[in-house]
Structure 1
Amino acid sequence: MPLSRPRPSAARMAALTLAAVTALPLGLVCAPAAVADAVPSTPAPTAQVSCRPQAQLYGATADGKLELFTHGDAAQGSFNWPVIGKRIDGSGWGSPRITLGGPGNWIYSINPDGGLYRHRYDPATNTWGTPPGEKIDSGWGTFLDGAARRNRVTIDDRGNIFAIHDDGTLRIYRYDEKTGAPMPGNGRVIDTGSWGGYNLIVAAGDGLLFARQGGDMYRYRYDVDRQQWLEIKSQAWTSGWQYLRDIRSAGGGTLYGLHADGSLFWYRYDVNAGAWVDTGRRKAGWNFETFHGISLSTDACKTPAQPAKPPVAPRPNMPAAIRQSSDKLIQQFYVDERGWLVNGVQRDPRDLGTVAYSTVPGARDIVDQPVITEQADGTPMAFALGKDGHIWMTKRQAGGTWSALKDFGGDFTGAPTVTRNPQGIVGVHAFDRDGKMWYLNQQSPNSDNFIPWRTRDAYSSMPAGYEKSSFLAAGQAASVDKEADRPFILGIDKQGRLGMNRADAKREGWWVWGASDTSGLGGTPAAARGADGKVMAFARTKDGEIWTAKESTRTDADSKLPLNGFFGDGTVLSGVKTAGSPAVAVNQDKSLGVVVRDDKGYVHYARQLGPDGDFSRWSLVASKQAATDPAVVQLADGQWAVFYIDTDGLERMYWLSDADSGSAQPRSLARGKRSTPADPVFTGGVTAKSHNGKPVVTEGR
């Protein structure tokens, strides 16, 4: 509103606005007129949003002045302006400077020098904080370069800055409110490649992000704390948005759109109702055409906070993770009785006296089995679940030390599984509290950044199988073909059936395989490919025995398409009762073996009698009882070993003897009977940490 002409009073402005609403149909001002989302027949209850009595709106004039307006009905969008056009600064705010509102009375600007500045104005006292105009970052000048870039920056109700870059990535920036210093992870890429088509983005509170492409508006929802994409590219409202030159938010799902004729339109999307609020009072103001940009306080409105989720309980008897890395070292990770993450490095695969142990810096409150992989350059990485439901990662550094844990967020109750595709991209998969599968991928080979969690592939017309999954929330994911282009992800569903996801051939989505006919399964499944190339899975039955089945195919009754899964009755390996989960090993002849801890703590082993043969009876691995489920390490030469923590808290490893690592004597077994010519022999014992420097004593059964 220019200062060169008489300013109408609030009453006069109200009359003008109401007259304009009556005389000017919505279509004539080209505001969005059609919704893609359902609009409730009854407006959503206003109790689902709470707003301050006045929401601050700032208008920057072309000649550099900054004026304050306050909207007295941000929750409903009616015409209510207690403060109209109050000049709060007299110069410096003109184009090309970009002005952005923030929370806590902060106003941000991108200045012609390319710097990002913040300013604090208190409307109650009409004073500016000191220092006035604090530069907190540089390199933002590209957003001043052309109209298409000016609206590609937005600030949410918590001060997080989201920016679309020319490479099509969406990035998040966070600054310490007290010092203005960049927070860890500042400028992190949170989505890649497909944001270049948007010419406007606006954060609307509670993780809501709206993005405009042409005349259409799309909706996203991103949980900053849990680093999860809750919603991706849902069509929010079709047509008409191109006529609004500025779109800002006061939080709580509100949008304020400035039309070229000076009209100010109000909208609100209700996250809880999943719909737009239709109150019939969408035009909130008039005569804003003289401003080259507007901004709002982004925390004026809030939706109800979600109740805090309870901490994740530690998994009882959780196994270790153990893997031989490409440098031939054996990496061990386990969680001790305090919940601390412990790493052991074994330099000689067959010499237990070469293991050295240390705790990972800051790795506390770990509640489930760690998972180990290595990235494309051979650097080992470990992932673990914290009691907060987040997945945490540590990476080996130069000199052999491990980095402090990096928070990857999430909302999970079971440990993840980790894959790496032939392009070198590491992927992490896990089940949330509702049993839905989520995944995140490394941005590029060897990158420290992972693109945040999602349940489906963005920008693909092909739905992801994860969205259809209903896995057991407390279960851990398992995987097969971890370093293949199309890995399998396995889990137990809520009916106790074994289900499996696999990437489709074009990697455009994830498909759910059929659930097993057998139900009542529990624990964490284990699986590997047998000599015939088919996947064989193992899981615990409701009676505590180990069940196994091989993948097969049947025709889906609805789609008439081939459906893969673990069909049929499978086989129960009777003779051992367990409350834990199995681990699987691959012998040199590609026959499979399975190890499990029984209900008294003893670890047992059963093996196929030859490639694709039946299974032997159970045999004892060692005479010392285990406090954890066993883990298996496979060596590059085809040998393997069992690792567990015993009831005295000591680490133990037992190798299957070379003579027993394959089965040269396959035999046909009578139904219901399982035997073997001779029990296999395991040798080993406690590892170096347990000996206090004394020579290692090799044990055998």
Structure 2
Amino acid sequence: MAFRHAISQFPGGSSRRRILSSAVALTVITTGVTVAVHTAPAQAATDSFTCTGPAVFFNSTTAGTLARRTYSTPGRDGGTFSAATNVGFSGWQSYGRLLGGPNGRVYGIKSNGLTRFRWTGSNWEQVDGKIDWLISSSFQSYAGASYRDKITVDEIGDFYLIDGNGKLRWYRFDESTRTWAISGRVLDTGWERFNLLVAAGPGVLYTRHTDGRLFRHHYDPVSQRWISRDRLVGSTSWSGFAKGLFSAGGDTLFGIQADGDLFQYRYREDNQTWDLVADQIGNGWGAFPNVFTTTDTCRQGANAGPPRPSTPVQADAPVAVMQAPAATTALGTLEFAYTDNNGGLRHGRAKPDELGFIQWSSAPGFEAYTGKPALVADAQDRVNLLAHEATTSDVRSLTQKTPAMPDWNPWLVLGGAMKSEPAVVRLSDNSLAVFAYDANGSLWSRRQDGSTGDLLPWTSLGGSGFAGNPVVVANADGVATILATTGTGEVRSATWRAGALTSGWVGLGGTGFTGAPATALLPGYRVMVFARNTDGTVKTQLRNIDGTWPGTWTAIGDGSITPDGSPSALLSPTTGRVWVFVRATDGSIHRSRQTAAGSTTWTTWGPVSSGETYPTDPTTFTWQNSGGQQIGFVTRTVNSAIRLYAADETADASAARSNRTATADPTFTRHDIPAPPRR
């Protein structure tokens, strides 16, 4: 198809305006469109809506031309249209769907895919000598009647669409590299209930339910959070806009009814009310196959993203450790990750029988990280490493390209603007979920779309004032138990499933707790929690079989040490006893354990570290080598050298020790893990 630039007059539409001003809640019914309108707060915030100029309207015709005109006051009452000029002479009827984008961009969809144009104000920009730039051979289905209203472009040029499975997907095309920087990332599921999608700001999405109701959603593409979702902003009969809805940005909406009447609306996020409702600005628009506007003319200042907390590099952060899934007949490697005192992120991999040899690597890039990273294996047995970026407070993720192989996929930025380190858990259905606190100490989570899909955006779980880092334990049926410490020293718990809390926050009783809790998961999915108290003890509590908490704490060990860091706990896979390790004020590592599986009696604190002292809290884990099951922990010296303390609790060794007294312990052997090379 050849495109020729031509200028000619095009008939304009009539204009009549209607502005809403009411002191009470009401419902406006105009030409078959019913919109729920809510009373603004008595002291509503100052309206931060601005536009850079008139809204630029385009429309195609059945004859194949494309016309352009402007509307003087988008989102405000009292505007008029300019005379239309023809900016496309022929061929535009071949596009089943035309969409506006920012800065004069126009996107057309037909059988060969998605084409990009850009009107500069006087002519069409040329790329490689052509005005039509095919940027994707996909998206063809969105040219047809079934899907044409399920794709949109927002104020910053991001694409959003609802696919055939009802998933909301996000795309971003980088014109400088000519690549899709974000290509179909899933943001939500269950959107098959909507038959229309339109963006009205960066990540601000309006959807029309199949029953005609209008909903507003706000996804922040920078922090990747759902700021709000599924907010009902219009009652039934938005289906009256048979020709669809479009926007000039800033929460403006324009809609064309079946009879060709054109209306405009504007919503305010700051007070959650409609500022402009059913303002008819034209008629006779029904004959045009496609009508759309440039999407970045107007802005809504209230649509700002969340604040970014200060997250400086944490000195002497703990080490993350896990055993990767076994590869064929070989035992899984031990995976180590930590951030050094300069913010460098280090990852190491060692065979479980060859701890004197370790393959170290630095994370790609030069970003600085803080706190303890998180390690988890996904459903494909790939190791995933999540880290907290110090400069931006965002969470980033690395995933192995292939299980048991050293290569990583590129970094995936998960956003967040989070105060805490991320906690990640593999659920019973093999999907992953990530948790973190924001600047206000509120808890957010990202859950995976199935066991192989994307991590969906951050969703608020509420609460406030949480300190330290969340602790998450996987239970049955895709459920997770969350444990958190408040800034006032209380430990609280909640139950999570499928992206939401299924129970409110419950206090476990007592105060004076500090640092992150530790947990051990007992048979029957009973969670045993440990926390350090300011009275110089480590205390424990075991959840009841019915899922409730007793509300009383019991101190473990004795008064021979003063704990200084956060405890770490494990359940021995061989003896069924729970072990707790903690760093004392002198930097030594001590342990206490149950005298028998299920016992409420604990041994006295005993030293584990062999003369060395450590500034870093221990991280416990269990693993298997050729000798059987092992228990132990890792820590770091003042020089960032890693120490691994291991004990053999295989069935044979336990049987050999059965004739000893109940307080006899296995010997913990220190392994000096070779230090990584200097960066």
> Which aligned pairs between 1:681-700 and structure 2 lie closer than 5 A?
681-689=667-675
Compute the displacement of 1:583 (Å): 0.6
Q: Is 1:445 matched with 2:451?
A: yes
Distance 1:487 1:661, change over 3 A: farther
Count of aligned pairs = 641
Distance 1:685 1:104, change over 3 A: same
The Cα shift of 1:40 comes to 1.1
1:103–1:297 contact (8 Å) kept in structure 2: yes
Distance 2:614 2:263 in 1: 67
Name the structure 2 match of 1:477. 470
Change (3 A) 1:280 1:254: closer
Compared CA separation, residues 391 and 26, structure 1 to 2 (3 A): closer
Q: CA deviation at 1:290?
A: 3.0
Report the 3-state secondary structure (helix = DSSP H, G, I; strand = E; otherwise coil) of the residue aligned with 2:239: helix
Shift of 1:121: 1.0
- Conserved 8 A contact 2:644-2:673: yes
**Quick one: distance in 1 between partners of 2:547 and 2:428?**
26
Aligned residue in 1 for 2:4: none
Distance 1:485 1:248 in 2: 39
- Give, in whole Å, the separation in 1 of the partners of 2:527 and 2:184: 42
What is the percent sequence identity of the aligned residues? 25
1:224-280 CA deviation, whole Å, 9 max, x = no partner? Answer: 122222222222211121111221111111111112222221211212222222x56
TM-score (norm 1): 0.84
The question of 1:397 aligning with 2:408 is answered no
1:288 Cα offset (Å): 2.3
Instruction: Describe how 1:89-108 pairs up with structure 2 within 5 A.
Output: 89-94=88-93, 96-108=95-107
Give the Å deviation of 1:615: 1.9
- Alignment of 1:373 with 2:373, yes or no, is no
Cα deviation for residue 665 of structure 1 reads 9.3
- Write the distance in 1 (CA, Å) between the matches of 2:239 and 2:83: 27
SS of residue matched to 1:32:
strand
Equivalent of residue 546 in structure 1, options 538, 545, 550: 538
In the alignment, the residues of structure 2 paired with residue 7 and residue 378 of structure 1 have an alpha-carbon distance, to the nearest angstrom, of: 63
- Mapped to 1, the partners of 2:306 and 2:167 lie a distance apart of 32
- The answer to whether structure 1 residue 565 and structure 2 residue 563 are counterparts is no
- Unpaired runs of 5+ residues, structure 2, are 1-6, 21-26
Which residue of the partner structure matches residue 490 of structure 1?
483
Q: Which of the numbers 537, 547, 551 marks the counterpart of 2:529?
A: 537
Q: Which residue is equivalent to 1:673?
A: none
Is the partner of 1:392 in helix, strand or coil?
strand
Secondary structure at 1:424's aligned position in 2?
A: coil
Q: 1:285 to 1:520 in 2, by over 3 A?
A: farther
Alignment of 1:8-407 (within 5 A): 13-14=14-15, 17=16, 27=29, 29-35=31-37, 38-40=38-40, 47-76=47-76, 78-81=77-80, 83-94=82-93, 96-111=95-110, 113-123=111-121, 126-130=122-126, 131-146=130-145, 148-178=146-176, 181-192=178-189, 194-214=190-210, 215-244=212-241, 245-277=243-275, 279=276, 282-304=279-301, 305=304, 309-327=308-326, 328=331, 329-349=333-353, 351-362=354-365, 364-387=367-390, 388-398=392-402, 399-407=405-413
Match of 2:369, SS?
coil
Deviates more, 1:537-546 or 1:566-575: 566-575
CA contact (8 A) 2:540 2:553 kept: no
Bigger Cα displacement from structure 2, 243-252 vs 183-192: 183-192
1:373-397, Cα deviation, whole Å (9 max, x unpaired)? 1122322222121122222111233
Instruction: Give the conservation status (yes or no) of the 8 Å contact 2:8–2:85.
Output: no
Are the structure 2 counterparts of residues 233 and 19 from structure 1 closer, same or farther at C-alpha, using a change threshold of 3 Å? Answer: closer
Question: C-alpha separation between the residues in 1 aligned to 2:664 and 2:159?
Answer: 66
1:499 pairs with 2:504: no
Instruction: Report the 3-state secondary structure (helix = DSSP H, G, I; strand = E; otherwise coil) of the residue aligned with 2:142.
Output: helix
CA contact (8 A) 1:57 1:297 kept: yes
- The structure-2 alpha-carbon separation of the partners of 1:632 and 1:61, relative to structure 1 and needing over 3 Å to count, comes to same
**Deviation string, structure 1 residues 400-437 (Cα, Å, up to 9, x no partner):** 23333221221212122222233322222222222332
Deviations 1:480-528 (A, max 9, x none): 2368633322211343222222246x99853235211112322111111
1:576 aligns with 2:573: no
Structure 2 counterpart SS, 1:196: helix
User: What letter is aligned with 1:389?
Assistant: S
Change (3 A) 1:666 1:267: farther
Which residue of 2 is the match for residue 635 of structure 1? Answer: 623
Amino acid at match of 1:347: K
* Residue 599 of structure 2 is aligned to residue 606 of structure 1: no
- Unpaired runs of 5+ residues, structure 1, are 456-465, 554-561, 668-675, 693-701
Q: Quick one: which of 616, 624, 643 aligns to 2:603?
A: 616
Aligned mates of 1:4, 1:401 — CA distance in 2: 59
CA contact (8 A) 2:426 2:474 kept: no
Whole-Å separation in 2 of the counterparts to 1:436 and 1:442: 20
Q: What is the DSSP-based 3-state SS (H/G/I as helix, E as strand, rest coil) of the residue aligned with 1:242?
A: helix
Residues 631 and 648, structure 2, Cα contact 8 Å, conserved in 1 = no
Is the contact made by 2:635 and 2:644 (CA closer than 8 Å) also made in structure 1? yes
RMSD value over aligned CA atoms?
A: 3.2
Residue 454 (str. 1) matches residue 459 (str. 2): yes
Aligned CA distance change for structure 1 residues 681 and 202 (closer, same or farther; 3 Å): same
8 Å contact kept, 1:595–1:606: yes
Query: Match for 2:425 among 388, 394, 419?
Result: 419
Q: Aligned in 2, Cα 1:519/1:607: closer, same or farther, shift over 3 Å?
A: same
* Closer, same or farther: CA 50–200 of 1 in aligned 2, 3 Å: same
Aligned 8 A contact 1:419 1:482 in 2: no
Question: Do the aligned residues in 1 keep the contact of 2:316 with 2:341 (CA within 8 Å)?
Answer: no
Deviations along 1:9-45, one digit per CA (max 9) or x if unpaired, are x9xx45xx25999xxx97451122334xx33167966
Q: Which amino acid aligns with 2:380?
A: D
- The 5-angstrom pairing of residues 500-539 of structure 1 reads 500-503=493-496, 510-512=502-504, 514-530=506-522, 534-539=526-531
Structure-2 residue corresponding to 1:699: none
Greater shift after overlay, 531-540 or 38-47? Answer: 38-47
Maintained 8 Å contact 1:362/1:404:
no
How far apart are the structure 2 equivalents of 1:6 and 1:205?
Answer: 29
In structure 2, the residue corresponding to 1:511 is in which secondary structure? coil
Contact 1:204 1:249 in 2 (8 A): yes
SS at match of 1:33: strand
Higher relative strand content: 2
**For the residues of structure 2 that align with 1:585 and 1:397, how far apart are their CA atoms?**
30
Q: After superposition, what is the alpha-carbon deviation per residue over 1:70-121, rounded to whole angstroms, capped at 9, x for unaligned?
A: 1221242x2312523222222222365322111111111113x332111111
SS of equivalent residue, structure 1 residue 143 = helix
Amino acid at match of 1:318: A
The answer (yes or no) to whether the contact 1:551–1:567 under 8 Å persists in 2 is: no
Q: Distance in 1 between matches of 2:369 and 2:352?
A: 28
Larger deviation: 563-572 or 216-225? 563-572
Counterpart of 1:634, as a letter, is: T
State the alpha-carbon separation in 1 of the partners of residues 226 and 78 from structure 2.
Answer: 35
CA distance in 2, matches of 1:507, 1:48: 32
